[in-house]
Structure 1
Amino acid sequence: MGVVRHQVVVDAPRERVFDYVDGYQNVPEYLIGVTHFEPTTDQTRGLGSVFDVRVDLGPKKIKAVVECTRYVENELIELRAIDGFEADTTWRFADDGNGTDLQLEINYTLPGGIAGRVLGGIIGPFAAQAVRHIEATIAKKVVARG
């Protein structure tokens, strides 16, 4: 299993940062490679909401269905894969002075064999680029919304 962790302080109130990250329509803006993130249930946020996800990793495209399994308004969002590529994502939000301490953790499981080795070689460099993109995009979009 692989793990990607990142922590950043965003110069905006926690409620605004949470609202932006929680908006499913914003996910392709801040998660690089995500080309499709659409609800499959009438519920589009919070515990029990389910989303169809497609990610373009360059030479490899992956699909997954994720469900929100833990949700605390303005504090926590956890998405667990229930079908397709096995990746679980946890976002944590806390006050940090006038800003927000934002923590992200992604746990993923690679398939076995050659496919897993190839995908593992892609995900490492992709994850580093993705973290920089997440940090820059969330900070820019949330601060711009005032």
Structure 2
Amino acid sequence: MGHIRFASDVGAPVDAAFAYAEDFRHGPQWMYGVTGSEPMGIPDQGLGATFAVQFRLFGVIPLRTSVEITEYRRNAVIGYTLRGRVYGTVTLRFDPLGYERSVLTSEADYPPPRGMFARLCHGPVDAAAKSALRATESRLRREIEAFHGTDLVGRIA
């Protein structure tokens, strides 16, 4: 099982950062490779919310998968479980860091490649997963700061 974890400072308080991240309509703006998402029923926020997500694997291969929020604590944690051809979990954690700042921790767990070419594919899959999570975390941080109207040190933008 592969595991990746990144943490970064965000120039916004936890409640603002969490409010932006939990709104599924913002997903395509910060989720790496995602080109669209739509709710698959009610609820459309919080624990049990499920979304149909369209994305481009490696930037070129169009895929569709479902994503369910399987862990949710307001202003603290959002955990997504991806199901379908691409599967694994992505967890976003939000912690206060001081006045108008917070820490965003992004984690991903994914199964290793299976089958005949598993040993050959393990390295490239790990590299691609790390790159995708880093890009997602970086975009989310920038989008939260733009949403809140501040930059990394909390100044009014």
Give the TM-score range, shorter chain.
0.7 to 0.9
User: 1:33-52, aligned counterparts within 5 Å?
Assistant: 33-52=33-52
Structure 2 unaligned spans of 5+: 150-157
- Please tell me the root mean square deviation across aligned C-alpha atoms, in Å: 2.4
- Would you say the 8 A contact 2:3–2:109 is kept in 1? yes
Equivalent position of 1:54 in the other structure: 54
Letter in 2 for 1:8: S
Deviation (angstroms), 1:55: 3.0
Residue equivalent to 1:65: 66
Q: 1:7 and 1:95 mapped to 2: Cα distance?
A: 13
Which AA in structure 2 matches 1:144?
A
Distance apart, 1:120 and its partner CA: 4.1
- The size of the alignment, in residue pairs, is 146
Residues 35 and 56, structure 2, Cα contact 8 Å, conserved in 1:
yes
Q: Is the 8 A contact 1:57 1:122 kept in 2?
A: no
Q: 1:75-114, CA deviations, whole angstroms, 9 ceiling, x for partnerless residues?
A: 1111223444221111111101121111111111245225
Higher alpha-carbon deviation: 136-145 or 44-53: 136-145
Aligned to 1:96: 97
Question: What is the SS of the residue equivalent to 1:104?
Answer: strand
8 Å contact from structure 1 (residues 57, 126) kept in 2: no
Give the 3-state SS of the residue equivalent to 2:41 in structure 1. coil
Aligned-partner Cα distance in 1 for 2:15–2:130: 26
Change (3 A) 1:122 1:27: farther
User: SS of 2:46's equivalent?
Assistant: coil
Bigger mean CA offset, 44-53 vs 30-39: 30-39
C-alpha distance in structure 1 between counterparts of 2:118 and 2:64, whole Å: 15
Corresponding residue for 2:136?
Answer: 134
8 A Cα contact 1:4 1:105, kept in partner: yes
Which letter maps to 1:72? R
| Contact 2:6–2:134, Cα closer than 8 Å, also in 1 | no
Query: 5+ unaligned residues in a row in structure 1: which ranges?
Result: none
- Largest Rg, 1 or 2: 2
Contact 1:65–1:84 (Cα < 8 Å) also in 2: no
Shift of 1:128: 3.4
Which has the higher mean CA deviation after the structures are superposed, 129-138 or 15-24?
129-138
1:15 Cα deviation (Å)?
0.9
